[in-house]
A and B are shown apart, each in its own frame.
Chain A
Amino acid sequence: MRKFTTIFSHIKSTKMNFSVSLLHRSSPFCPNQPPHPNFKNLTWQNRDSLLLFPLLCSRHFASTTAQNPSTLNALQDHYQAIDFPGGAVQFIPEMRFISESPKERIPCYRVLDDNGQPILGHNFVQVSKEVAVKMYTDMVTLRSMDTIFYEAQRQGRISFYVTAIGEEAINVASAAALAMDDVVFPQYREAGVLLWRGFTLQEFANQLFSNIYDYGKGRQMPAHYGSKKHNYFTVASTIATQISHAVGAAYSLKMDKKDACAVTYFGDGGSSEGDFHAALNFAAVLEAPVIFICRNNGWAISTPISDQFRSDGVVVKGQAYGVRSIRVDGNDALAIYSAIQAARQMAITEERPILIEALTYRVGHHTTSDDSTKYRPANEIEWWRVARDPVVRFRKWIEKHGWWNDMAESELINNLRQQLLHTIQEAEGVEKPPLADSFSDVYDVAPSNLREQEQWLKEIVRKQPQEYPTNISV
């Protein structure tokens, strides 16, 4: 049975040892740390014994080895360790600054090469035929959605659209590795997760057209999807605000002893927001079962990552917060699937946050309001679109297994196109939400001032009906 520990269950005595111990973590994989001596007993002998029991004990998930970098060299072993608050630390006589970044970047976990061939490795998670085919069909579906809905915006039929082109593997493979009870906090380029969970094409189109069937009642811009039924928190435009929300939700799942975690997505640009900082620190201190998935696609609108940060990407930020992290090839569906599945198990069983940086490239424009050829060359885009396509790579793999073929591909694409065009016609033909929906849900119960404002507006519409659209019921 897992021992349940929270920070608040540790009552601090006014006579606590001056050695500030880390709270005991509940983990079957790690030996308990011995109590630390009171300062009065801190003799040379006891100081030496501190070295035998490192305070910051690394925990290992059974199927995954956590890397244990060490900053010590032989010289340091000769010098005493002393207990500053935060744990024992060794002294070093040499003034040496830690470099701003390593000479070589943290490597990127990859299972399939660009030809869809598995690279020799011993720890990637096997995927069944059924899951793999669904993964592939959802990736293709997501791409078809993007192609058609993008055109619908260009035709002025919807006001705005965001594509996930180039990032289909991150979307679908991460969703495949999760369970339905896991709560998802998206940014805005993760519609594939909702697709995997069963949101229908019609439901997507209803939101895009802001019609009466939109669960959001037409209140937000297109692509701001949400679904309570699918445990997919409604998208909000403000960047990175969802990251700390996910930590709170994860903490709640832990308190409720749910066998689930919170999962949140953000881009490389989102990692520069103060809320990113708040989220990772809270997650570590509160030991929240949350997975942070960063889609590092190289751009934040027109800002390249050389102007976003100067670290070795986002993966190195994990250790800055005491959060376990990994870098993954975001265009490799199997690598994403394996990493997320392992991260999920660690997060839930060990009650800890995990940070995943998925390296990828934003092939499409940032949004329909952006022309990305203004700040990056077309041949760079084409290179990623053609040579590094995540959908094509995964297709090669499932074809080699005999799980897919050209005929299945043609059927799928034709079906999708027909379905999508049909959903657009359906969504476009439906009336908009009623006027009353502009005033409801601000609070649970509408206060008198809002009811009064609603009455004023209705009165104005009744007096000048020709000034207002006819497909909104009053």
Chain B
Amino acid sequence: MASWLLGRSSRILIHQHHHLHKKYLPFLLGPFLNHNNSSCSSFPSTEPFRCRDAFPGKNSSPTLFRFSRHESTKAEAQLELEQDVATEDEPNQVIDFPGGKVGFTSEMRFISESPEKRVPCYRVLDDNGEIVKYSNYVQVSKEMGVKMYSDMVTLQTMDNIFYEVQRQGRISFYLTQMGEEAVNIASAAALAPDDIILPQYREPGVLLWRGFTLQQFVHQCFGNTHDFGKGRQMPIHYGSNQHNYFTVSSPIATQLPQAVGAAYSLKMDGKSACAVTFCGDGATSEGDFHAAMNFAAVMEAPVVFICRNNGWAISTPVEDQFRSDGIVVKGKAYGIWSIRVDGNDALAVYSAVHTAREIAIKEKRPVLIEALTYRVGHHSTSDDSTKYRGTDEIEYWKMARNPVNRFKRWVERNGWWSDKDELELRSSVRKQLMHAIQVAEKAQKPPLQDLFNDVYDQIPSNLQEQERLIRKTIEKHPKDYPSDVPL
């Protein structure tokens, strides 16, 4: 078969079983004879031959096809649909409605709102840190494994200390990752530095993996003069241009369609990288989730959507969030590959994200990953989660299902980690954090001018005037303003 037929942007294939009338052959084949394979990597602004040009008569209608399967991963054959909804009518009882051939059935049968059993969850390590039989997972080296574990512990320690710092009123707000350390670190480990990250807010582990220092985290939480964000956002709204980590913003799910646009740009630029965006289960209910998924599929954007399904959106449990079988089943609704992963299993997350990344970049398509996990901590320092869920439930997930402990068992069993290493690491991270907090707390706040900079690239005259006005006010009433903000 001619290779030019395999291009993703060429959605036409002449079905071998349909004999075309001779007079249509030159017209149908013409545009493709000159088709340049290299142009398949760019999205054409105008298709040379639109599949919409259907002609009367069943046998002369072209059929929509798509090839390209990632070699190392089989796409599930959708056995459930083929078995249950296979057309009972004769093979010639198909008609070409817009969108492609569809078989007819004379039986009125509604598709159930959910499958009889839930989509299974990919897992590599069991709760004892043992590799599950028959698991096809991506190998992790010792260096990688140890760094993954160290960063998970670092993240956990950061959370414990920063949470207490907020309770002491030294920072205004904090949000922990407790229970979701594996999703954070393992997904980051599976990515490349060129991959662009668009986070929600519970993914600082990705930034940690990429080299953001503990000191830099603390600067942002304190909103001091060393904060890259110049103290303009609440704590934990981290961002770093250097680490390809888009700055966090509070409105939920807005980053999802932005990630699709970034991915499309990467594709247009011919980069060997993808966009990766994270969201919680609650974010999947926003309209922007719908827009992002659909645009990603239609624009064939190399983007990986990672959904942390931790069971809660503040006080809203998942059964009040959706009635589907979670988020993994939403992939098919948009024409997107999807997989469900044990979010507390670092190796499963690593393998799935690693493979999804390869699929996204090579095949120029979006991939959806639902990582099942549990939010062990409160939603944020403004939340007391015992008001809406039992403490024994929290304790169960904290102790019996802890992702850090599970991974530790695995690295220990490999002989890569020891109790001594553990003590050294925890002690070292704690000291670094204490030091970082002291440094950040003493640093000055950003200058007053930073309230007016960066609204636009250049400061317009009305903003300049407003700055002058506030400076005059401060001159008149200096005692009403904080002394640690330089003028």
Contact = CB atoms under 8 A, between A and B. Distances in A.
Interface of A: 7, 12-18, 20-23, 38-40, 54-56, 58, 61, 64-73, 75-76, 79, 82, 84-111, 119-124, 272-278, 281, 284-285, 296-299, 304-313, 315-327, 329, 335, 338-339, 342-343, 346, 352, 354, 359-361, 376-377, 379-380, 382-383, 387
B288 interface: yes
B290 A101 contact: no
B26 interface: no
B322 A361 contact: no
A303 to B, nearest CB: 10
Nearest to B89: A119
Given A14-B388, A98-B337, A20 B56 contact: no
Contacts of B113: 58, 66, 284, 318-319, 321-325, 352
A309 B317 contact: no
B74 interface: yes
Q: How large is the interface on B (under 10, 10 to 19, 20 to 34, 35 or more residues)?
A: 35 or more
Contact of A102 (B81, B109, B310, B328): B81
A432 B373 CA distance: 63
Contact of B78 (A40, A103, A327): A103
B52 A304 contact: yes
B287 interface: yes
A451 to B, nearest CB: 35
22 contacts: A14-B386, A20-B319, A71-B79, A72-B117, A72-B120, A86-B325, A94-B122, A97-B75, A101-B332, A104-B103, A109-B107, A121-B106, A122-B107, A275-B287, A309-B294, A316-B333, A319-B111, A319-B329, A319-B332, A321-B323, A321-B333, A379-B55
A247 B108 CA distance: 25
Interface in B351-397: 351-352, 355-356, 359, 365, 367, 372-374, 386-390, 392-393, 396-397
B331 interface: yes
Contacts of A91: 120-123, 132, 342
Interface string B95-125: 1011111111111111111111111111110
A108 B105 contact: yes
A92 B136 CA distance: 10
Interface in B80-102: 80-87, 89, 95, 97-102
A119 B114 CA distance: 29
Contacts, number: 404
5 interchain residue pairs of minimum CB distance:
A274-B287, A298-B98, A85-B311, A121-B106, A322-B323
A96 B74 contact: yes
Interface string B114-147: 1111111111100000001111110000000000
B340 interface: yes
B115 A306 contact: no
Given A58-B114, A105-B103, 12 more contacts: A16-B393, A65-B109, A66-B110, A71-B119, A93-B123, A96-B73, A100-B336, A109-B107, A274-B286, A285-B320, A285-B322, A298-B98
Contacts of B228: none
A376 B52 contact: yes
Contact of B107 (A14, A121, A284, A285): A121
Contacts of B105: 107-110
Contacts of B355: 95, 97
B298 A307 contact: yes
Contacts of B28: none
Nearest to B395: A39
A278 B298 CA distance: 20
Contacts of B84: 67-69
A97 B310 contact: no
B53 interface: yes
Q: Which of B286, B332, B333, B336 has the most CB of A within 10 A?
A: B333
B426 interface: no
Contacts of A277: 285-287, 289-290
B389 A16 contact: yes
Contact of A106 (B52, B102, B317, B334): B102
Given A69-B80, A380-B53, A86 B309 contact: yes
